[in-house]
């Protein structure tokens, strides 16, 4: 007999604009069904970092993206099909408003007065024009460069803002930009230019992104089965992700070390806390740490991971330190 596919009830919560209460309704429904003893899974359409945390608390499970632009149709179908095997009801919170534009070639759907902009390119803006980033299409972060750099206060040699520590910022108050803030830059308008072909780092794949990793000295303290699982299963980028670290979820890894004396933490360090779920430490990481380390991602793998949206599938790939150094030097040569 052929096995019938598992199905369950599903409901989409949508509205004609943001701020209409979609998250409140979705979270309330999830909590209601959980109190009835039902298994609930929630998905989100469109980029957001606060709403998924609320919805995850309400449902008791991670909340992943099923936005066709962001994760692709095949991955969205797979996520929902897997949820249907375990859940009694699936809730999907719709995008912020109704998208009414045509598909853009820009990775963040950037437009200048409604006209699509190509990533990794320069453009001229005239007074009164409007630059809009609609939503991530491929990748998560973008840099907007200004001729000569921004004319802003410098703290510890940087003009960045770190909201967690309340350091830096346009007004030196540690707060991000807000409506009404004005940015000025030091240089004059430069000649439009673009990066040469082949110099850009590839953005994450829609199906699965491979991350190169150099094994560390503590790898020998992991069980053989854990080492196999580390490199032979897809990991999922968790909602708990920021410039300090990015958590991956999958089959738990086990180390015989337990804890270690705190030691220096390099960029891309792959820490394994007691729950066995890897934490990749990024640019704003702490200086020392005491969890066992499987190894470290290469700098280019860190750049690729930083562009992965929550719910993205990634796979760790072991390479030698020699291979990692050669690949990094080759990329640096392209940028010179």
User: Which tens digits make up the pLDDT trace of 277-292?
Assistant: 999 999 888 888 889 9
Q: Residue 278 in contact with residue 253, Cβ under 8 Å?
A: yes
Model confidence, pTM: 0.63
pLDDT value of residue 18: 56
pLDDT value of residue 19: 62
How many angstroms separate the Cα of 298 from the Cα of each of 39, 226, 238, 324, 326?
39, 21, 20, 6, 11
Kindly report the CA angle at 142 between 140 and 146, in degrees rounded to 5?
170
pLDDT value of residue 104: 25
Distance from chain centroid for Cα 26 = 23
Torsion of CA 202, 52, 117, 195, to 10 degrees: -30
pLDDT value of residue 17: 53
Kindly report the CA angle at 238 between 281 and 67, in degrees rounded to 5?
130
pLDDT value of residue 200: 72
Convert 209-245 to b/e letters by CB count within 10 Å (16 or more is b).
bebbbbbbebbebbeeebbebbeeeebbbbbbbeeeb
Distance from chain centroid for Cα 247 = 10
How many angstroms separate the Cα of 235 from the Cα of each of 89, 175, 207, 242?
25, 33, 12, 17
Low-confidence ranges of the chain (pLDDT < 50): 1-2, 97-106
Residue 86 burial (CB count, 10 A): 12
């Amino acid at each position: 007999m052929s096995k019938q596919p598992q199905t369950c009830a599903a409901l989409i919560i949508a509205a004609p604009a943001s701020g209409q209460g979609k998250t409140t309704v979705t979270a309330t429904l999830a909590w209601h069904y959980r109190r009835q003893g039902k298994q609930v899974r929630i998905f989100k359409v469109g980029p957001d970092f606060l709403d998924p945390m609320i919805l995850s608390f309400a449902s008791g499970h991670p909340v992943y993206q099923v936005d066709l632009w962001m994760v692709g149709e095949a991955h969205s179908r797979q996520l929902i099909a897997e949820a249907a095997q375990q859940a009694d009801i699936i809730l999907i919170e719709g995008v912020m408003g109704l998208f009414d534009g045509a598909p853009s070639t820009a990775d963040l759907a950037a437009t200048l007065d409604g006209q699509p902009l190509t990533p990794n390119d320069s453009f001229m803006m005239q007074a009164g024009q409007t630059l809009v980033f609609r939503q991530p299409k491929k990748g998560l972060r973008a840099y907007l460069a200004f001729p000569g750099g921004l004319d802003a206060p410098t703290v510890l040699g940087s003009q960045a803002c770190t909201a967690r520590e309340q350091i830096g910022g346009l007004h030196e108050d540690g707060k991000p930009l807000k409506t009404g803030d004005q940015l000025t830059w030091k240089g004059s308008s430069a000649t439009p230019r673009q990066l040469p072909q082949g110099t850009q780092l590839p953005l994450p794949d829609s199906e699965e992104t491979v991350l190169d990793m150099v094994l560390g000295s503590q790898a020998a303290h992991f069980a053989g089965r854990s080492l196999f699982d580390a490199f032979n299963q897809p990991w999922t980028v968790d909602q708990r992700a920021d410039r300090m670290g990015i958590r991956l979820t999958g089959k738990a890894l086990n180390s015989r070390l337990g804890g270690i004396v705190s030691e220096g933490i390099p960029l891309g360090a792959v820490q394994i806390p007691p729950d066995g779920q890897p934490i990749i430490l990024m640019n704003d990481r702490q200086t020392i740490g005491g969890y066992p380390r499987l190894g470290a991602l290469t700098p280019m793998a860190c750049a690729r991971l930083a562009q992965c949206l929550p719910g993205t599938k990634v796979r760790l790939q072991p390479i030698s330190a020699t291979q990692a150094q050669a690949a990094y030097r080759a990329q640096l040569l392209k940028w010179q």
